[in-house]
Structures are given as structure tokens and as C-alpha cells.
Amino acid sequence: MDYPIVTIWARYDLMGHRSFVPASFVCLLFHTSRSSSCDNSKRFVLLGLRSGHSMASQSAQPKSVHEFTVKDAKGNDVDLSIYRGKVLLIVNVASQCGFTNSNYTEMTKLYEKYKDQGLEILAFPCNQFGSQEPGSNEEIQQFACTRFKAEYPIFDKIDVNGSNAAPLYKFLKSSKGGIFGDGIKWNFSKFLVDKEGNVVDRYAPTTSPLGVEKDIKKLLGIA
């Protein structure tokens, strides 16, 4: 008795010709050789198995902000699943921008008003726009906390565009593209995320934090 020989990623037709198979389709070729008085031929049996589940698991795309881990200002990992059940306003911040004073001031007002009702503001320093966030993480924190009394978390400085963009921002941009493309246009772009980690809306840098208040209240369930 001959045991099956399994060949993967190849397809053979009845004439023995081989063709290649798309990566999404796994082919198992069983080659059996039977000797009998009337049949001494070799038989090829092709079994096609869809491998969507295994392939999908390897390239599964995140579906929620809560699936990401980021770095805090001291370089420690922060699992964003700790914010499950919270409404998030995610903002790329800068200390030397024309929008700095108004945005930090209004972000502090929003946080003080709604933090006990489930709002969290996540600030991510970024130096990609006009080099307007040149300081160290420590300097950025001191600036925001001293001048604007920011009590919400300010994370590690990141890139939000380009090949080195933080995975979180790649996800945010792919979830909600901008009017003129997915890329972040400037400092203080904003993303609003619901309690389940879904990206609900995106706002241009010219939209003030208080201009998002109505949408925040809706996600918080506040009339």
C-alpha cells in the first residue's frame, strides 16, 4: 500500500501539468500509485482547501483602539484597553503652534467638565508639522501641566504620518479619512472614539475642542 504524498501550493491537471495556486488557496495533492492487472497508472487527486481562517488570522486588522499598546512619556507600555468604557478624544499636540493656546485651554476645560462622566483625552506630541514640538517628553509634559494644568495623559512623542507613523495613528487614519486624504494635515487634528473603541469622527485642526463638545456629550449619553 502506498501512503499519500502531500504537496502544497501546486495544482496538477489530469495530464500532469502543474500550475501555481493563489496564496489564498491551499492545495493538497495526493499521489497514489496502484498496481493492478488492468491499471498501472498513477492517479492525482486534488483537494482544495480554503485557508481563509488561518490566513486571516495572520493578517487580521485591528478593529478597535483598545487593541493597541502605546508608550507613555516615560517609555512605559500603556494598553489602551484600560480605556474601555470611556469616550476618547485623541489629539496630536504641539507646544509652539498657533493653535496651541486655544486647544490646550479648551481641552483642559472639556476634561474638567466631563472626566467624571467618562471622557478621556489622549495627547500625542508630534514634531512633524513645522518642527513645532522640538522638546523632550519631560519638557512637553512640564509645559502642558504647568501652563495649562493638563491632567489628562500626554504620551511619548510619535510620528503620525509616513512610514514611521505610530500603528495607532495608521488605524485612526484608515478608520476615518480626511477630506483631502488620510494623512494628518497639522497639529491638533482630533479623533473621537466611542466606549467600544470605534473611531466615530475626525476633526480638522481648525475645529476647536469645544466645537466637539456636542458630539462628546452624545457618546457619553448626556442630554
All domains of the chain in start order, with CATH: 6-58 (no CATH), 65-220 (3.40.30.10)
Angle of helix 137-148 relative to helix 100-114, nearest 10 degrees? 70
Average pLDDT over residues 207-216: 98
Residue 34 confidence (pLDDT) above 50: no
Residue 78 confidence (pLDDT) above 70: yes
Cβ–Cβ < 8 Å for 21, 40:
no
Residue at grid coordinates 509645559:
143
Report the pLDDT value the prediction gives residue 8, as an integer from 0 to 100. 40
The Cα 68–Cα 80 span in angstroms is 6
Which of 48-57, 90-99, 102-111, 119-128 has the weakest average pLDDT?
Answer: 48-57
- As a whole number, the mean pLDDT across the chain is 81
Backbone angles phi, psi at 145, to 5 degrees: -80, -35
Name the catalytic one among 27, 38, 97, 126: 97
Backbone angles phi, psi at 103, to 5 degrees: -70, -45
Residue 188 confidence (pLDDT) above 50: yes
Active site residue 97: yes
3-class DSSP assignment, residue 116? helix
Residue 165 confidence (pLDDT) above 80: yes
Q: How confident is the model at residue 54 (pLDDT cuts 50, 70, 90)?
A: very low
Phi and psi based region of residue 2 (left: phi greater than 0; alpha: psi -120 to 50; beta: remaining)? beta
pTM for the full predicted model: 0.74
Backbone angles phi, psi at 64, to 5 degrees: -150, 150
